[in-house]
Amino acid sequence: MTTEPRLPVAVDAMGGDHAPGEIVAGAIRARDELGVPVVLVGRPDELGDTGGLDVIAASEVIAMDADPAKSVRTMKDSSLVRAAEAVRDGKASAMVSAGNTGATMASALLRIKRLPGVGRPAIATPIPCPGADVPTVLLDAGANAECTPEWLVQFAQMGSVYARQRYGIETPRVGLLSIGEEPTKGTPLVKETHALLAAGEWAAAVGGTFVGNVEGRDVMSPDVDVVVTDGFTGNVVLKTLEGGMKALVKAILATFDTDDSTRAAGDALIPALLPLYAQLDPDNTGGALLLGLNGPCIISHGSSSATAVVNAVKVAVEMVDGDLCGAIGAAIRPA
Amino acid sequence: MTTEPRLPVAVDAMGGDHAPGEIVAGAIRARDELGVPVVLVGRPDELGDTGGLDVIAASEVIAMDADPAKSVRTMKDSSLVRAAEAVRDGKASAMVSAGNTGATMASALLRIKRLPGVGRPAIATPIPCPGADVPTVLLDAGANAECTPEWLVQFAQMGSVYARQRYGIETPRVGLLSIGEEPTKGTPLVKETHALLAAGEWAAAVGGTFVGNVEGRDVMSPDVDVVVTDGFTGNVVLKTLEGGMKALVKAILATFDTDDSTRAAGDALIPALLPLYAQLDPDNTGGALLLGLNGPCIISHGSSSATAVVNAVKVAVEMVDGDLCGAIGAAIRPA
């Protein structure tokens, strides 16, 4: 904990399917419930009652489906770009957005910049493991469709530092996503990365341990703490799980509605099912983190509610207080 | 339907976690319940009561975890190699194995051979969509870790033919797995494949239609019939879904066991849940199919029960009767 006055977390008030209403409500709740300073970024006259929160004015809004690179290049007064600039300029400690994911990445990368030595930032997404205490950290979940072995090794380092700081795992178990346990399985990218991770030098300044290749079935298991993959595969995995879980839960809930007997049984089960539902609810994970930059950037899912914003601000503050970026910088470039 | 005497389906009696017991039992049931000829391939003295089924003797067994290429090269009298040779030599119409997947592919590829013009065979796996009548066909689910755009286009063709023949879909909707709907999203492989699929020539002799990029969340949805991807991504998707579904079902069943009230509610729900459970049970899908060869090769999952073998033989017979291989050959090389 710092004894200096805390910098606020910059919240992009215009980003997300339920912006600005839910986002502003979440920002106010974050300040009140967590006791931390929050600053909104957006169009002042569209934010409604901000509960006395400071506002950084930004006149433009990057749409959810806009081209990320082009938007960030041309919309210099957008809420996303201004939020990233607030972090760059020392006016905010971290940024949170539920807006256009690609534009969030581009804004943060261009304005907050990479830590020295980091090849590419990566999106680290917590994957809940039903029944387990902590999620698995999947990275890269979509920042870089194409990767080099060296970047994947850095993802192992950044993911290990993150898993320790966020989930208290002293020696994170890092797995490399492949299509078989044997080092000979997979693409050339995976095989080369396997050799580098198995050599072990990456772990010297990090404290993680390489458990070898893991498969898709291990992503939602408690047997591995960090799953490293390229951003194409990681994004497909993330969305496959989202879609699969949603389809299965929907089908199960439909069986509850078969007849009076099953409806009564369903009602009786709801209290027991709620903790599981809460564990799988993306509003409760605190969002994904863009790792490898000079300041924490939290990427919340597009449908974020006020609760999701509260949890995202909470994670942002924890990462600032624990100096996640400093720890990642030290791991990537050991003194 | 042919009026000639039907050729038997060759079943690898030695492959699978429960071989030979469950495999032989399934082969006998397939003959009795489906009224089709079946021939077992394996070590005659280890098969127990074969119920009068013919046996093609093979003295070697390729272990589940053996190196596929090396095993097939050196174990010429293995049950897998002999099963593939039976198809090649016109002694069987198709082969079924629950054994080593890589060795099954290698045996079939080397002995049954590719259809003229086929770049690479692909594993087509049915993905059940909860609540929908027919599954989505995912290919390649693991045969080729690295692919070219041209192979992926052929996968679209082969998958369309298969979806029509097996599931009766007149104009299969083909999606290309990527990380966004826009044609600009994804790896170079995906972008080049998108352009080829969008050009539409591939569909001329096939009758499928390209619906554009799809994402991981669409794999288990009824909005697409065939999902095309490289064998690395496809295998990761398949195993991610298997692992995710299993973890979620386990967690839900655990909530049923909370107290007397939830246990009673769970008991009341079981009859309504059974059809969903049956839909998701891999024993009921009939297995994956290796497409692009001169004869059907069914790859059953390693833990196949007798029921899985019955369903695999059923699919094999359907594919033989409908001349799947002839239709694929015609689609790949239009007259």
CA distance A6 to B118: 64
* Segment B209-237 mean pLDDT: 96
Best A220, A248, A252, A301 member to test B by mutation, with max B CBs in 10 Å, is A248
CB pair distance less than 8 Å for A131 and B244: no
Where are the strands (E) in A86-153, listed by range?
94-97, 122-127, 136-139
What pLDDT score was predicted for residue B39?
A: 98
Phi, psi of B166 (to 5 degrees): -80, -35
Average pLDDT estimate for B129-137: 90
CATH architecture observed for domain B124-284: 3-Layer(aba) Sandwich (3.40)
Q: Which amino acid is at A107?
A: S
The closest alpha carbon to B213, from B190, B184, B181, B173, belongs to B181
| Chain A touched by B251 (CB under 8 Å) | yes
Distance from CA of B327 to the nearest CA of A (A): 30
- Which segment of A1-10, B170-179, B217-226 scores lowest on mean pLDDT? A1-10
Q: Is A74 on the interface with B (CB under 8 A)?
A: no
> Which amino acid is it at B214?
V
Which pLDDT score is estimated for A132? Answer: 85
- Chain-chain contact of B242 with A217 (C-beta, under 8 angstroms): yes
CB–CB of A217/A240 below 8 Å?
no
CA distance B147 to A207: 36
Rounded CA gap, B235 and B105, in Å? Answer: 14
Whole-number pLDDT of residue B5? 79
Q: Which of A239, A245, A256 sits opposite B215 (nearest CB)?
A: A239
Amino acid at A309: V
Q: Is the ipTM of this complex over 0.85?
A: yes
Which residues of chain A does B264 touch, with a Cβ-Cβ cutoff of 8 Å? 265, 268
- In terms of Cα–Cα distance, which of B153, B139, B163, B140 is closest to B202? B153
Interface contact A273-B254, CB threshold 8 A: no
Q: Which residues contact B318 (CB under 8 A, 6 or more apart)?
A: B165, B166
- A235–B179: do the CB atoms touch at under 8 Å? yes
Contact B207, B170 (CB under 8 A): yes
Question: Among B146, B148, B184, B240, which would you mutate to test the A interface (most chain A Cβ atoms within 10 Å of its Cβ)?
Answer: B240
Residue B213 near residue B175 (C-beta atoms within 8 A) = yes
pLDDT by residue, tens only, chain A of 335 residues: 555 789 999 999 999 999 999 999 999 999 999 999 999 999 999 999 999 999 999 999 999 989 999 999 999 999 999 999 999 999 999 999 999 999 999 999 999 999 999 999 999 999 999 878 899 999 999 999 999 999 999 999 999 999 999 999 999 999 999 999 889 889 999 999 999 999 999 998 898 999 999 999 999 999 999 999 999 999 999 999 999 999 999 999 999 999 999 999 999 999 999 988 888 888 888 899 999 999 999 999 999 999 999 999 999 999 999 999 999 999 998 65
B249 in contact with A, Cβ within 8 Å = yes
- Whether residue B238 lies within 8 A of chain A, CB to CB, comes out as yes
pLDDT-derived band at B3 (thresholds 50, 70, 90) equals: low
> What is the total residue count of chain B?
335
Which chain B residues are closer than 8 Å to A247 by Cβ? 129-131, 220-221
Q: What is residue B282's predicted lDDT score, i.e. its pLDDT?
A: 85
- Facing A250 at nearest CB: one of B130, B187, B236: B130
pLDDT band at residue B145 using 50, 70 and 90 as cut-offs = very high
Return the pLDDT at B118: 96
**Largest Cα–Cα distance in chain B?**
67
Average pLDDT over residues B149-170: 96
Could you give the count of Cα atoms lying within 13 Å of A194 in the half-sphere of its Cβ? 20
> What number is the average pLDDT over the span B71-90?
97
Query: Smallest Cβ distance to A130: which of B179, B251, B276?
Result: B251
Is B236's Cβ below 8 Å from some Cβ in A? yes
Task: Give per-residue burial for B7-23: e unless 16+ CB within 10 Å, then b.
Answer: bbbbbbbbbbebbbebb
All CATH 3.40.718.10 domain ranges of chain B, comma separated, are 1-118+292-335, 124-284
From the list B314, B297, B272, B275, the residue with the least C-alpha distance to B106 is: B297
Q: Does B218 touch chain A (CB under 8 A)?
A: yes
Q: Which residue spans of chain A are classified as CATH 3.40.718.10?
A: 1-118+292-335, 126-284
Residue A258 near chain B (CB below 8 Å): yes
CATH topology of domain B1-118+292-335: Isopropylmalate Dehydrogenase (3.40.718)
**CATH architecture of the region A126-284:** 3-Layer(aba) Sandwich (3.40)
pLDDT at position B16, please? 95
Average pLDDT over residues B26-48: 97
Q: Which residues of A touch B245 (CB under 8 A)?
A: 244, 248
CB of A35 less than 8 A from some CB of B: no
Structure tokens at B74: 């050196």
Amino acid B335: pLDDT? 59
Sequence letter at residue B122: A
State whether residue A333 sits within 8 Å of chain B by CB: no
Question: Do residues B269 and A262 make contact, with C-beta atoms less than 8 angstroms apart?
Answer: yes
C-alpha to C-alpha distance for A20 and A183, rounded to whole angstroms: 48
Question: Distance from CA of residue B69 to its chain's centroid?
Answer: 20
Nearest C-alpha of chain B: how many angstroms from A274? 9
